[in-house]
Structure 1
Amino acid sequence: MQRMSAQMQGTESLDERRQAGRKRDEQYFAARPDSPDVRRRIEVRLAGGTVPMEVSNGVFSSSRLDLGTSVLLRHAPHPPQTGDFLDLGCGWGPIALQLALLSPQAKVWAVDINERALDLTRSNAALNGAANIEPLAPDALPDSQTFDLIWSNPPIRVGKEALHRLLMTYLPRLRPAGAAYLVVQRNLGSDSLIDWLSTQLPDGWHAGKYASSKGYRVIEVTRP
């Protein structure tokens, strides 16, 4: 009985941990996270230097730069000097800030459903003097706005159907000769996502592997 009780306690503990993980995911997918907004200052390697940034609870990768984003920042090609860029699912803003620092004459649209993420991106842009970042919610983005470049660590854990809807909402907004770079973990379906994109994008568009590192793929989507 003691052994069975211990096994049941262990199972309950595992279930509780899984539920806690799902709750954390739900928070950063939510417009208004339930967790306390406790801000912390960290240093992040961006655009060839080290910059200060604020992070908080209820936002994706709330204590550090996550590995997938790090892979994208290291392997995506240098952005153009000018144009309209999109950071899709900006979190606390590392992708948007890298784009803004590398291309100060470009405008970087930083989109996220999470209001705390947008506020953090706004404060991190100000902290680093990046006046060319525009954080905003998806419904605040003008319907007619198109982009020369999209970078994203997309929210794979929202589920395949929601992810597909998200990508096919924004990828078609690429301008002619535009490109998108998405980072996706291999064991979470990066290769199958490439195959799916190849069937969904208009004729002449291309989706393929651009780079691989540390268990991630950087997927390139180009419009002719």
Structure 2
Amino acid sequence: MITKMKTELLQNNRQLQLLRYPERQNETLQAWDAGDEYLIEHVEKLNLPANSHLVIINDSFGALSCWFSERYQVSMLSDSYIAQQATLANLARNQCHQVRLLTTMDPVPSDAAAVLVKIPKSNRHLTWLLDSIRQQLNADIPVISVNKAREIHTSTLKLFEKHLGKTHTSLAQKKHRLVFSVADATPVESNPYVEWPVDGENYWLKNLPNVYSGENLDQGARFILPHLPQDPTSKQIIDLGCGNGVLSIKLGQLNPYASIIGVDESHMAIASATLNIKSALGDEFDFEGRVNNCLDGFDSSSADLIVCNPPFHQQLAVTDHIAWQMFCDAKQVLKPKGKLMVIGNRHLGYDNKLARLFGKANLRQIAVNKKFVILQATK
């Protein structure tokens, strides 16, 4: 039996209806967490002047932006296109005031009265954010961060102290803890990119801090690279979930006259992929990087080949619905006889999902090892 997920945030005699994005029937995951509630409770007690500027970083689905937009000017910074779209949808759902949407590659607004941060999983991304805050803010501006208590380690607090300034923590509440900081540390110079060569290939990759597997080549990409097709009939290729562009580069080398679109929901991924394509294939190569939710807005029957290395998590929640949406969108966007090539962990059962969509007779296994399987489905 599926338990209906709670969609009403009730706090301080106020109610918001909040949904994750994209909306799904029988959703089992909530659009906010106890960390959001803890931040709301604390900031309300600060009694900041009405209409002052509140900067919110990494608002997962817009709960904080919706709540604080009633009283303050709000800027929400996120690397996630999904988080931005969720925020817009929840703002409209609750008839909230407008919020300024920025990416975490944009400077932190210097006129902030306070900065609220949901601590990211990646320490590289956290360091990037702390450096950005330190560069823009004075030491009298409160920076209040939150995460699950078990995720706030001594090493995490040392990053805050090194890259931002004096830091202390709250008591735990509902398994979450607040981190209080000020921007008074000596600025630290750092290179935003991590750069490394791809094993067995003739190109390097530059990776901004929030790019998936940005410090080394992930095992799935390593396994699928030698199996990417060279096919002169594939004129329109989509790299769905392109990350740093590692598969796009190989596809471009094998199919130099094709047009390739790299799609990812991370702004940093698309920026990194675009830079890497230009470096490896030249400015003239026909590549477009597109920040998007899967293949929303793509024309039906427009692609000859789609290559996909699906994620199995959204924010910090493990889920397979993104892979399913990718597969459904791919079937819609592929031309008749077009092919979808998928790499995935064997235990995820992508073969069953693809067989349901494309038909068992139109599915074949390209390669398999102890951990991964490469599948090809033909429309």
Letter in 1 for 2:341: Y
Show the 5 A alignment for 1:143-182: 143-144=298-299, 146-158=302-314, 159-182=319-342
Measured after TM superposition, the shift of residue 207 of structure 1 is: 2.3
- 3-state SS in 2 of match to 1:217: strand
The 3 A distance-change label for structure 1 pair 79 and 64 is farther
The structure richer in helix per residue is: 1
Question: Is residue 97–residue 133 contact of structure 1 (8 Å, CA) maintained in 2?
Answer: no
Q: Within 2, Cα distance between the matches of 1:29 and 1:78?
A: 33
Which amino acid counterpart does residue 143 of structure 1 have in structure 2?
A: F
1:52 matches 2:179: no
- Larger relative contact order (Cα-Cα within 8 Å, sequence gap ≥ 6): 1
Gap runs ≥5 in structure 1: 1-22
Match of 2:196 among 34, 42, 60: 42
Partner of 1:84: 236
1:79 and 1:211 map into 2 onto residues whose CA distance is 18
Bigger mean CA deviation after superposition, 128-137 or 214-223 = 128-137
Determine whether 1:194 maps to 2:348. Answer: no
In structure 2, the residue matched to 1:135 is: 289
Whole-Å Cα distance in 2 between the matches of residues 91 and 138 of structure 1? 12
Structure 2 unaligned spans of 5+:
1-57, 59-77, 82-102, 105-119, 130-191
Shift of residue 196 of structure 1?
2.2
Shift of 1:174: 1.2
The aligned residue for residue 213 of structure 1 is 369
Cα distance in 1 for partners of 2:325, 2:196 equals 33
Paired residues of 2:229 and 2:254 also in contact (CA < 8 A): no
What whole-Å deviation, never above 9, does each CA across 1:48-107 have from its counterpart, x for those lacking one?
A: x42122013211101111110111112233343650001000001001111111111000
Q: TM-score, normalised by structure 1?
A: 0.75
Moved over 4 A (4+): 139-142
Of all paired residues, the percent bearing the same amino acid is 20
Do 1:179 and 1:220's aligned partners in 2 also have CA atoms closer than 8 Å?
yes
1:141: Cα distance to partner? 6.8
The structure 2 residue matched to 1:30, chosen from 67, 80, 96, is: 80
Q: Which amino acid aligns with 1:50?
A: N
Q: Distance in 2 between matches of 1:186 and 1:69?
A: 14
Shift of 1:172: 2.4
How many residues of Structure 1 are paired with residues of Structure 2 in the alignment?
192
